[in-house]
Amino acid sequence: MYPELQDIARQIIEAAAGRRRYIVALAGPPGSGKSYRSELLCDAIAALRPGDAVVVPMDGYHFDNAVLEPSGELPVKGAPHTFDADGLRVDLERIRRGDRDVAVPVFDRPLDLARAGGRLISRDHSIVLVEGNYLLLDEAPWRELHGLFDLTILLDVDDEVLEQRLFERWLDMGQEPASALDKARHKDMLNARLVKSRSISPDLVWR
């Protein structure tokens, strides 16, 4: 499905040779397949270098609904300011040092909450794939992350494909068709266009 996959995996392995840590940002708009492609890439690396790669999902840094609701931000959950970007930066700095294992949160989509300590980044993981919407966003506090990445990749997917995927995602989560379409068009696609228009130029574009 993705002919570039093996080439990207080999490029990362070659660049990471001799490095204690090599951190890759895999960014893209909602619905672009970040989680799916990051796992595919992790598996492709593992096929050549077993145990070397791991994925850190940015979605684990969602602010909890209990934080967003009192401030009235729950309806726009998923926008840049509804993530703990500083918490992600601190964890990536710890991961960059590579002197100890680091536990990171993971997002449980069906439950709509992050599970603390859901994944362990071991000292043996020399290649860390970080995936998320806003990793390359050219605004504070996200730009403070940029210096922590050795390689940046942006997923490129047409808006029409994104909207259809997002509509189907909301349907799968139990939304009625009218509500699913409204959320896809007037919530997720706003964030998608922000990612496309306000991200820094990546090292690689993965179409």
Strand partners, 115: 106
pLDDT at residue 1 in the model: 52
pLDDT of residue 3: 63
User: Strand order of the sheet with strand 151-155?
Assistant: 53-57, 127-132, 22-27, 151-155, 204-206
- Residues in the chain with pLDDT < 50? none
Length of the chain: 207
The pLDDT, as a whole number, for residue 175 is 93
Residue 177 token pair? 């068709």
Position 75 scores a pLDDT of 92
pLDDT of residue 2: 67
CA–CA distance, 24 with 44 (Å, rounded to integer): 14
pLDDT number for residue 45: 97
- H or E, element range at 195: helix 189-198
**What's the pLDDT at 110?**
84
Cβ neighbours of 34 (radius 10 Å): 25
Q: Which domains does the chain have, with CATH numbers?
A: 5-157+202-206 (3.40.50.300)
CB 121 within 8 Å of CB 56: yes
DSSP code string of 17-44: TT-S-EEEEEE--TTS-HHHHHHHHHHH
pLDDT computed for residue 206 by the predictor:
95
Task: Note the pLDDT of residue 171.
Answer: 94
Please tell me the distance from the alpha carbon of residue 76 to that of residue 80, in angstroms, as a whole number.
Answer: 9
